[in-house]
Structure 1
Amino acid sequence: MKKLLNTVYVTTEGAAVKKDGENLVVEIDGAERMRVPLHRLQSIVTFGAILLTPPLIQACATAGITIVLLDRAGRFQARIEGPVSGNVLLRRAQYARADDAHEIVRGFVCGKIANQRAVLQRALRDHGADMETTARAATEDTVDRLARALRRAALAPIETDELRGLEGDAARLYFAVFGGLIRSPDPEIGFAGRSRRPPLDPVNALLSFLYTLLVHDCRSALEGVGLDPAVGFLHRDRPGRPSLALDLMEELRPVLADRLALSLVNRRQLRIRDFDLRDGGAVWLGDEGRKTVLTAWTERKKEERRHPFLDEVAPLGLVPHLQAQLLARHLRGDLDAYPPWLWK
């Protein structure tokens, strides 16, 4: 469990969340693990099978404290709130900014480019000596070009559509050298460029699966704070598409998904036998491969990092929720700008 941004996150299944006087109390196996005054809370987020007592639910509803229920995988299930809610005002602010969100888009794009560059720098630092000479030189050149793109995204007086184009150009640069980071003993596990519908090689199949997991987490985080996941800023609206969840995912996927994909392949936790080749050239993860990825994904989300803006340590699995809260605070006017999450 963790208290961040006036929100208590309860992640241990079987925990009991109760009211004791004017305090929230979290117990595990009958032992008290956390006590927080209710007046200091804005929301409670639970993951999986967590007991919430009726007196606590009633007290939270009365005090305007939102309770968000997620399943053990982090998918949104329900939100419990009293009759007075700020969600309508938050969503009005979101809709009003949808067509004029230049600085929010700038934050998403800068976060994504900075984190893509960090992934390449980490690979060079850890395995640069083992890379082929041409692959190493291309990666070093891409790191420099991404640095220039980041400076332009952060500082240049460019329009929103130019930022979108810059994001696309940076992604092409990044994925052009991504294959050089793969060190699998299986020659079939290669990467010649991003392919999506369908994925045409094992690495693309792995990336697509991880991105699906991440976008679900981002959607849950946005719904948990009361934002509409369908109305985005960087991604244009499209029926059935969670555009804002895709926005939020952009800055997170180089670290949460791409790094995990490289680790699974390079550490030989996934081999070519874990993938299925389908008709038409499509490649998908097999049953055992999915189990391996889901286990690694769960463990990855438990790893802790210091949040660069909050200056507090938090599990990676909570980062989408923290970023959703920071975005909501910016839209409400509590923060001057949206601070992207940067990996260091």
Structure 2
Amino acid sequence: MFVIKKGDNKVEVSPSEVDEILVLSSSLISTKALMVALSHGIDVIFLDSRENPWGILLPSVVTVTVKTKKAQYEAVLNNDTTYGEEIIKCKIFNQHIHLKYWTRSGIKTDYKELIGRDEPTAARIYWQNIALLLPKDIHFDERDADSADQFNMALNYSYAILYNRIFQYLVIAGLDPYLGFVHKDRPGNESLVYDFSEMFKPYIDFILVRAFREGFRLKIKDGLIDRESRSSLARIVVKGMDDKVKEENDHNPKTLVQAIRAHAVKLASSIREKRPYNGFKLVL
């Protein structure tokens, strides 16, 4: 049994009830507990103060994590495009759903134009419509990560928060976050993180459009978001990610964070078992 202590409180947990153990920077774990975990095929993930994984302890026998990574490498080496295609299809679908939400709210958008388009064309149409949804004082014309306008800078910062969450859950699911299906494999490039995030970005966009339409603004100093604005923006995004979101063909609403974790596990399982992956499709 694992014994978890906090102050005078003590809880015993059977290894059969544990999928993985997350060790925070402020936590202590005994070598006996590690031995029990590894003997039962339980991965141990060490997280830093920002909850980013900095190390994983694996048993010396083949585990689900090893099988998952091996299957992921095989899929990439065999040029299996199905996972990447599903992710991009879901991205465009979710962009469509985002714009459709505003049309239902009485603001006309070209949401119907996205379906059936290739990614570059869909992206151009999508961001043109986002520009029309935003107040004119924002001066947003198109998605440009290098632009100094408020909305592009907010997107960059908010996507970084999303990437952090996704990196964590992909690692926990046993996937290699640096080996993707869509974005190019380069040293230090979190390709799978960027791939996987595409399905969830339209909801982050929705959170930001809603905030800016309600009057939220950033303070820019020397070409950077000032500290107070960063804190305010982070609160908006983190709070939005804790919103309950509905997913197509799923009658149990989850928070966006829960959906990200569930789909990381789902993608890992699909790759490991060499079966199709059904991506995240938003309902707004």
Are residues 1:146 and 2:123 paired?
no
Change (3 A) 1:277 1:201: farther
1:285 Cα deviation (Å)? 1.6
Which moved further from structure 2: 319-328 or 200-209? 319-328
- Counterpart of 1:204 in structure 2 is 152
TM-score using structure 1 length: 0.72
CA deviation map 1:192-228 (0-9, x unaligned): 01111x2231111111111122122222222222222
**Larger RCO (CA within 8 A; separation ≥ 6):** 2
| Aligned-partner Cα distance in 1 for 2:16–2:134 | 50
Q: Which amino acid aligns with 1:121?
A: K
1:173 Cα deviation (Å)? 1.1
Q: Which SS does the other structure have where 2:137 is aligned?
A: coil
Q: Which SS does the other structure have where 2:189 is aligned?
A: coil
CA deviation map 1:108-166 (0-9, x unaligned): 0111011111111112223x2xx4xxxx2xx1xx21111333xxxxxxxxxxxxxxxx1
| Aligned-partner Cα distance in 2 for 1:250–1:233 | 12
Q: Which SS does the other structure have where 1:251 is aligned?
A: coil
- Counterpart of 1:244 in structure 2 is 192
| Aligned-partner Cα distance in 1 for 2:196–2:150 | 25
2:68 pairs, out of 90, 93, 104, with 90
Which moved further from structure 2: 62-71 or 323-332? 62-71
CA contact (8 A) 1:235 1:247 kept: yes
1:262 Cα deviation (Å)? 1.3
| Aligned-partner Cα distance in 1 for 2:246–2:29 | 29
Q: Which amino acid aligns with 1:89?
A: K
| Aligned-partner Cα distance in 2 for 1:41–1:306 | 28
Are residues 1:195 and 2:135 paired?
no
- Map residues 86-235 of structure 1 onto 2, 5 A cutoff: 86-98=64-76, 99-126=78-105, 128=106, 131=107, 136=108, 139=109, 142-149=110-117, 166-183=118-135, 187-196=136-145, 198-235=146-183
Q: Which runs of 5+ in 2 are unaligned?
A: none
| Aligned-partner Cα distance in 2 for 1:48–1:315 | 25
- Counterpart of 1:338 in structure 2 is 277
Change (3 A) 1:316 1:173: same
Q: Which SS does the other structure have where 1:329 is aligned?
A: helix
CA contact (8 A) 2:22 2:44 kept: yes
TM-score using structure 2 length: 0.85
| Aligned-partner Cα distance in 1 for 2:211–2:103 | 18
- Map residues 60-71 of structure 1 onto 2, 5 A cutoff: 60-71=37-48
Q: Which SS does the other structure have where 1:289 is aligned?
A: helix
1:241 Cα deviation (Å)? 1.5
Q: Which amino acid aligns with 1:194?
A: R
CA deviation map 1:241-268 (0-9, x unaligned): 111111001001111x211211321222
- Counterpart of 2:55 in structure 1 is 78
| Aligned-partner Cα distance in 1 for 2:7–2:200 | 31
1:74 Cα deviation (Å)? 3.9
- Counterpart of 1:270 in structure 2 is 217
Q: Which amino acid aligns with 1:110?
A: K
1:26 Cα deviation (Å)? 9.0
| Aligned-partner Cα distance in 2 for 1:270–1:168 | 29
Change (3 A) 1:146 1:112: same
Identity fraction in percent? 22
CA contact (8 A) 2:173 2:264 kept: yes
Q: Which SS does the other structure have where 1:79 is aligned?
A: strand
Q: Which amino acid aligns with 1:341?
A: F
1:293 Cα deviation (Å)? 1.2
Q: Which amino acid aligns with 1:206?
A: A
| Aligned-partner Cα distance in 2 for 1:49–1:341 | 34
1:50 Cα deviation (Å)? 5.4
CA contact (8 A) 2:177 2:193 kept: yes
